[in-house]
Each structure stands twice: as structure tokens, then as C-alpha cells.
Amino acid sequence: MVLGYDEKIPSAKNYKDFLEKLVAGLEKLGNKEISLMIYGSYVRGDYVPGRSDIDALLIFPDNVIIDKYVLGECSKILASAQTGKNVPFQVTPTELITMQDGKFNSYNPDFEQ
């Protein structure tokens, strides 16, 4: 898939629709402990549709090993949200314990900048 060559370049509306569908799908899972953190140019508002990706962390409530079934369901939700949108999306799945203890967490206090 090459945007602008064999795939349509996504519009700002595609980005918005993709995130709305992704969030709605994750909410339907009914697991209120799963968190989606969006960061980067999309959140700052200086993204360029078709050139910028949406950066995200998908945080699971697990302790180091993420439940395979839940991860699979999230993958299906992501695929469904992405259908026909072509939005570049970079997601890092992680779990709560790693995020809390900071041992493997590259998101230090400077991350907010």
C-alpha cells in the first residue's frame, strides 16, 4: 500500500472518523481498564493528512503478559476502524505494570514536551 499511488490519501475527516470508530469499538469491549493514549502531531493539531501518522499507546490492565484473546479483539477493532480510511497509525501495545514501574518505559517526564 502506497498512499497516493495505489491507495487514496486520507483526509482530515478520515483521521477523525478512524479515531471515533476505534474508540467506540474499544468501548464496546466493556473493559474500562483498557486505555488508549493518543499523542504527537495529531493531538497538537499540526499533523498533515496523508503524511502524518497518529501515534498511540494501547495500555492493557495486565501484568506483563497481555491476554491473547483481548489483544486479538483489539486488533479486529483496529482493522475495522481502519477499513477504507488509510490513516497511518502507529500503536504500541503495553500493559499497566510496565507503564507504572518505569523500568521499560521510555516515556519520561520530558515526554509531555
8 A C-beta contact, residue 17 and residue 92: no
Q: Is residue 96 part of a domain?
A: yes
Please report the pLDDT score of residue 20 as a whole number.
97
Q: How far is CA 103 from the centre of its chain?
A: 22
Strands 54-60 and 35-39: antiparallel
pLDDT interval class at 111 (50, 70, 90) = low
Domain that holds residue 75: 31-100
Alpha-carbon distance of 41 to 63, in angstroms, equals: 30
Q: What is the DSSP letter of 110?
A: G
Q: Are strands 54-60 and 89-95 parallel, antiparallel or unpaired?
A: parallel
Helix or strand (DSSP H, E) at 93? strand 89-95
95 falls within a domain: yes
pLDDT value of residue 105: 58
Mean per-residue pLDDT, 13-42? 94
pLDDT band at 96 (very low <50, low <70, confident <90, very high): confident
Domain count, the chain: 1
Q: Which range has the worst mean pLDDT, 19-23, 34-38, 90-94, 103-107?
A: 103-107
> Between residues 22 and 104, which one has the greater pLDDT?
22
